[in-house]
Amino acid sequence: MGAQILDGKEVAKKVRAQVRREAKIFTEQTGQTPCLAVIIVGEDPASQIYVKNKKLACEKCGFLSREYALPETTTQQELIDLIRTLNSDAQVNGILVQQPLPKHMNVSQINEVIDPDKDVDAFHPVNTGKIMIGNAQLLPCTPAGILEMLDAYEIPIEGRECVVVGRSNLVGKPVAMLMLSRNATVTLCHSRTRDLAEITRRADILIVAIGRARMITADMIKPGAVVVDVGVNRTEAGIFGDVDFVPASEKASYITPVPGGVGRMTIAMLMRNTLAAAKIQAQKNKKE
């Protein structure tokens, strides 16, 4: 018996449709159309595709979008100045700086310049801190997309053993926090974890974001586990997730494919955050 596929493409489509409906109501009530500004520095081809996809997703949701394509030679200060201009531009609701940035730039400083209310990646320390406390309004897109997908398939979370492999600020740490806030028992593993297989075999829900092609093999998976693969590893043989998909899908009850799994959810959640940001700003403007 093979695992059921967690279809990111389908769930993302439903999320976008819901965001589109809500955005229409928001526009009717406020006269405003949500607007996302995306900044890209340099000409990394993968980043250019991601940025194009974000623009297309905005169109599908009825949002406005702006793209700022800056040359590789842009200075840190020039980027900061652009972000500050967008922070004070009332037409712009969400600001996203596509990563990776060129090596001469300091990413954490950039993340701190973005207005937390416009921070649709939820990378600003104020937003990452709110995730810890459990009152965040803007959630990081990939972790939020994982939970959205589990919910779409009505996979129970409360009380279950969740093992997260990978401790990045982008995925591992925040998804561990979100699973904890839903009352899972969470174990966070990483590259220095001893006896990794012994721990992953305990998982009812196994979330892998380590960035190594096919490193989670079928023997590391508990029969019937839910397996969420966040990895996108480009190799000479093609694109692979962090999970050895074919044998793993014989063992799991549910599994995400790569591509077509978690990746699809990330942009859908970015759209949800852009609408949420527009609502936060509209509320604040009303109070002022």
**Site mask for ligand GUN (CB under 6 A), range 166-205, x = bound:** ----------------------------------------
The residues, ordered by sequence, that sit 6+ positions from 196 with a Cβ below 8 Å of its Cβ are 165, 189, 220
d(CA 248, CA 253): 10
Q: Does 89 qualify as catalytic in the annotation?
A: no
Is residue 98 involved in binding ligand GUN (CB under 6 A)? yes
Q: And the tokens for 149?
A: 């997908």
Going residue by residue from 109 to 138, which x/- string records binding to ligand GUN, judged by CB under 6 A?
Answer: ------------x-----------------
Measured from the CB of residue 156, what is the shortest distance to ligand GUN in angstroms?
Answer: 27
Q: Which of 168, 181 has the CB closer to ligand GUN?
A: 168
- Which segments of 153-261 does DSSP mark as H helices, in order? 172-181, 196-200, 245-251
Which residue number is nearest to ligand GUN in terms of Cβ? 99
Between β-strands 238-240 and 233-235, what pairing exists: parallel, antiparallel or unpaired?
antiparallel
Q: Dihedrals φ, ψ of 65, to 5°?
A: -140, 150
**Contact window for ligand GUN (CB under 6 A) among 23-31, 90-98, 149-157, 227-235:** 90-98
Judge contact between 228 and 264, C-beta under 8 A.
Answer: no
Max CA pair span of the chain: 59
Cβ proximity to ligand GUN: between 6 and 51 the closer is: 51
- Residues numbered 28 to 57 that lie near ligand GUN (CB under 6 A) are 50
Which residue in the set 141, 147, 189, 208 belongs to the binding site for ligand GUN (CB under 6 A)? 141
Give me the torsion for CA of 216, 222, 224, 227, rounded to 10°.
Answer: -30
Which residue of the set 32, 54, 117, 229 is catalytic? 54
**95 counts as binding ligand GUN under rule CB under 6 A:** no
User: Is the CB of 255 or the CB of 270 nearer to ligand GUN?
Assistant: 270
Give counts: helices (H), strands (E), the chain.
10, 11
Contacts 24+ apart (CB under 8 A), 1-4: 1/250, 2/249, 2/250, 3/227, 3/248, 3/249, 3/250, 3/251, 3/252, 3/253, 3/254, 3/255, 4/153, 4/253, 4/254, 4/255
Of the listed pieces 59-67, 96-104, 197-205, 237-245, which binds ligand GUN according to CB under 6 A?
A: 96-104
How far apart CA 104 and CA 123 sit, in angstroms, is: 19
Residue with smaller CB distance to ligand GUN, 79 or 97: 97
Asked if residue 273 binds ligand GUN (CB under 6 A), the reply is no
* Residue 86 interacting with ligand GUN (CB under 6 A): no
Give the C-alpha separation, 162 to 155, whole Å: 12
Let me know if 98 is a catalytic residue: yes
The catalytically annotated residue of 115, 119, 121, 229 is 121
DSSP label at 101?
A: P
Nearer to ligand GUN, 249 or 273 (CB): 273
Active site (catalytic) residues: 54, 98, 121
Note the residues at the interface with ligand GUN (CB under 6 A): 50, 96-99, 121, 141, 266
